[in-house]
Amino acid sequence: MAKSVEIKCPECGWKPDGQPHWQCSCGYIWDTFQTAGRCPACSKQWERTACIPSAGGCTAFPLHLDWYDGLDEWLREELERIRQGAPA
Ligand SMILES: [Zn+2]
Ligand SMILES: [Zn+2]
């Protein structure tokens, strides 16, 4: 993408390190930023994404979209489209 969008915690500025820090209620563990907040196992869409204190972050639980710093409207629409589940 042409725009520089940085993914970081809106509260503390922690940047996800590409590791699977997030666990779904179904038990699956993955990197939620690879799927825009959707669990690959059960397809649950997470509106919010927790920051990870054990990886250097804080205990905030912000909206997933709030993690994208510099995200413009076009990209927001793209993410919304992904979230609504484009046919594979
Ligand atoms: Zn799940
Ligand atoms: Zn944080």
* 52-61 confidence digits (pLDDT tens): 999 999 999 9
- Kindly calculate the radius of gyration of the chain based on its CA atoms and give it in whole angstroms: 13
Q: How far is the CA of 25 from the centre of ligand 1 (A)?
A: 6
Q: What is the pTM of this model?
A: 0.76
pLDDT of residue 80: 83
Considering every ligand atom, which ligand is closest to the CA of 55?
A: 2
Considering every ligand atom, which ligand is closest to the CA of 23?
A: 1
Q: How far is the CA of 2 from the centre of ligand 1 (A)?
A: 31
Give the start-to-end residue ranges of the domains of the chain. Answer: 6-83
* 4-54 confidence digits (pLDDT tens): 788 999 999 999 999 999 999 999 999 999 999 999 999 999 999 999 999
73 burial (CB, 10 Å; 0-12 / 13-18 / 19+) is exposed
For residues 86 and 1, the model is more confident at 86
Q: How far is the CA of 38 from the centre of ligand 1 (A)?
A: 8
